[in-house]
Amino acid sequence: MARENWTSSIGFILASAGSAIGLGNIWKFPYMAGTNGGGTFVFVYLLCVFLIGLPVMCSEMLIGRVTRRNVINALGKIELISSSTFGRNILCFLAGAAMVLFASIHAWLLAGASLIGAVAFARKGFAAVGWVCAILSFAILSYYAVVGGWIVEYIWRSLTATFTDIEGVTAIEVAKQSTAEFGAYTANPWRVLIGFAIFMALTGAVILGGIQAGIERVSKILMPALFVLLLVVIVRSVTLPGAWEGVVFLLKPTAAAFSPKVIMMALGQAFFSLSLGMAITVTYGSYLKRDQSILHAAGWVGILDTLAALLAGLAIFPAVFSVGLDPSAGPGLIFGALPATFATMPLGAIWATAFFFMLLIAAVTSSASLLECTATVLIERMRKHHKRCTRRCAVWIAFITCSLAGLLSVFSTADWTYLPCVEKGVRWCLGSLTQGNWFDTLDNLCSNWGLPFTALIIALLIGWVYGTRRAKINLLSSDASKNPPKWLLTAWGISVKWIAPVAILIVFLTMSGLLKL
């Protein structure tokens, strides 16, 4: 069967943006900015997106377009065309270094996994990286769906108007009450479980029911609508009394707030938000035609994604400051600030329902791409070992196991009370990487370590194994009029070869304490 292609650049850009724009922009970006110094985080984040994220995104698209295969075969094929064992040696070295690093912080499970990784890389080379991608997308979906469940709950709450029918009560009181209610809600895992199950079921239904095309079509209308709604919320939020302080907090960097941790958080968030490091973009790129310019496509996806995040920040922080919430409140930030804003709007319940509904659709398009990634790797691996695994069967396996794994996050979003034994085990396995609860630990592990690690491998593969000279030719469109200026290509080459790998390595070494800046 002939491979389908994206009929237009716009279709490709919108589909990639559909995977990229999700909870990472509207829920995670504001709370990460809030806990990591506001404007300083935003400034570093922008640098990470444009200097590291986008060049890696171009590389992933390039791998897809050159090989026209799914992620595992694609990475293996690139190595094959490059016919060098150099890359394999780098991988083994990196895995060995990771082993030492993790052992030094008593993260025994990760040290063991790196050892297995080193053996796998020695035998299979870059194709083995597919496993890392599958594990990451599996793990991310397991907690992403918990946040998706919160959104389902908030659609229900806005439909039943529990936070909007509060005449005579000030926005400040609503904010305080909503924050307390959010705390009480996440402390009750049985209630969280309902939202989680609904969100997982939606994700599974999209993939299993083959309605992905349908949902993409719907999201083409709803995503722009989400942008418009964000603008409406911004207008309301910035006109609240004392809101300007929030705008300044979001946009003004201060030297005092700067630290290596901020860079690590911003880098991880950039990869998470752009859906990088999981090779989803490789799959998308494999459908990209030769006459389309990768640099343009990646540029647009990056701009749309960053715009969504900044708009979300502008919608949240003015309200946060106006109603006196703590900007470093963490994952519950938007669930305190947004209800307060909606409560002060005429027809607040309707706005709130529409907003959370669009956010849900944006989240489902992202979670569907995560489930798809795990399933694709499963199918590929089984086929390799001559076991028959239909797409349906793979999706079911991914869906069921991921739902089970997600229970850990569901039962630990408040604290470890429900899982005391698990806490001990996790501390032993992950050492000092263990954070507040399982949900935070997993997010830290995947976003701040896992995604930069796979992105590092992709950058090394293209920058050093495949070679930037050859890559540059393939980045261009066959139609010369669509090509970007030469300096942009040169900048891209410098980034994948030097800036991205060196920056990621420095961040890893600093965060593990092996390098003191």
Q: Which is nearer to ligand PFF, 144 or 411 (CB)?
A: 144
Do 260 and 517 contact (CB within 8 A), yes or no?
yes
Shortest reach from residue 20's CB to ligand PFF, in Å: 5
Residue burial 425-446, b: 16+ Cβ < 10 Å; e: rest:
ebbebbbebbeebbbbbbbbbb
Q: Which is nearer to ligand PFF, 19 or 468 (CB)?
A: 19
Give SS3 for 190. helix
Instruction: Give CA–CA dist 47/360, Å, rounded.
Output: 29
Q: Is 22 in the site for ligand PFF (CB under 6 A)?
A: yes
The contacts of residue 117 (CB under 8 Å, 6+ apart) are 95, 98, 128, 132
Residue type, 60: E
Q: Is 409 in the site for ligand PFF (CB under 6 A)?
A: no
Q: Which is nearer to ligand PFF, 55 or 348 (CB)?
A: 55
H helical segments located in 239-259: 244-251
Select the residue interacting with ligand PFF from 203, 366, 454, 512 (CB under 6 A): 366
Q: Is 6 in the site for ligand PFF (CB under 6 A)?
A: no
CA distances from 105 to 108, 117, 139, 368 (A): 8, 18, 22, 34
DSSP 463: I
Shortest reach from residue 137's CB to ligand PFF, in Å: 6
Q: Which is nearer to ligand PFF, 268 or 348 (CB)?
A: 268
Q: Which is nearer to ligand PFF, 283 or 477 (CB)?
A: 283
Q: Within positions 33 to 52, which residues make up the interface with ligand PFF, using CB under 6 A?
A: none
Q: Is 375 in the site for ligand PFF (CB under 6 A)?
A: no
Point out the residue whose Cβ comes nearest to ligand PFF.
Answer: 24
Q: Calculate helix-pair angle for 54-67, 71-82, nearest 10 degrees.
A: 80
Select the residue interacting with ligand PFF from 9, 16, 19, 495 (CB under 6 A): 19
Phi, psi of 327 (to 5 degrees): -60, -20
Select the residue interacting with ligand PFF from 219, 341, 369, 468 (CB under 6 A): 369
Helix (H) and strand (E) counts in the chain? 25, 0
CA 369-123-465 angle, 5° bins? 70
CA neighbor of 399 nearest in space, from 248, 196, 252? 196
Select the residue interacting with ligand PFF from 13, 17, 23, 504 (CB under 6 A): 23
Q: Which is nearer to ligand PFF, 29 or 416 (CB)?
A: 29
Q: Which is nearer to ligand PFF, 53 or 125 (CB)?
A: 53
Shortest reach from residue 154's CB to ligand PFF, in Å: 16
Full DSSP string of 297-365? HHHHHHHHHHHHHHHHHHHHHHHHHHTT--TT--TTHHHHHHHHHHHTSTTHHHHHHHHHHHHHHHHHH
CA distances from 60 to 93, 117, 391, 433 (A): 22, 21, 24, 28
Tokens 């083994």: give the residue. Answer: 92
Q: Is 339 in the site for ligand PFF (CB under 6 A)?
A: no
Per CB under 6 A, the segment of 175-183, 319-327, 362-370, 485-493 that binds ligand PFF is 362-370
Total of residues contacting ligand PFF (CB under 6 A): 16
Q: Tell me the per-residue interface mask from 117 to 146 with ligand PFF, x by CB under 6 A, - otherwise.
A: --------------------x--x------
Q: Which is nearer to ligand PFF, 53 or 463 (CB)?
A: 53
Residue type, 138: F
Per CB under 6 A, the segment of 74-82, 166-174, 365-373, 403-411 that binds ligand PFF is 365-373
Rounded to 10 degrees, the C-alpha dihedral 128/132/135/136 comes to -160
Q: Is 280 in the site for ligand PFF (CB under 6 A)?
A: yes
Do 133 and 278 contact (CB within 8 A), yes or no?
yes
Shortest reach from residue 513's CB to ligand PFF, in Å: 28
Q: Which is nearer to ligand PFF, 25 or 344 (CB)?
A: 25
Q: Which is nearer to ligand PFF, 144 or 249 (CB)?
A: 144
Per CB under 6 A, the segment of 52-60, 83-91, 194-202, 366-374 that binds ligand PFF is 366-374
Q: Which is nearer to ligand PFF, 361 or 429 (CB)?
A: 361
Select the residue interacting with ligand PFF from 163, 272, 438, 449 (CB under 6 A): 272
Q: Is 311 in the site for ligand PFF (CB under 6 A)?
A: no
Shortest reach from residue 294's CB to ligand PFF, in Å: 18
Residues near ligand PFF (CB under 6 A) are 19-20, 22-25, 137, 140, 272-273, 275, 278, 280, 366, 369-370
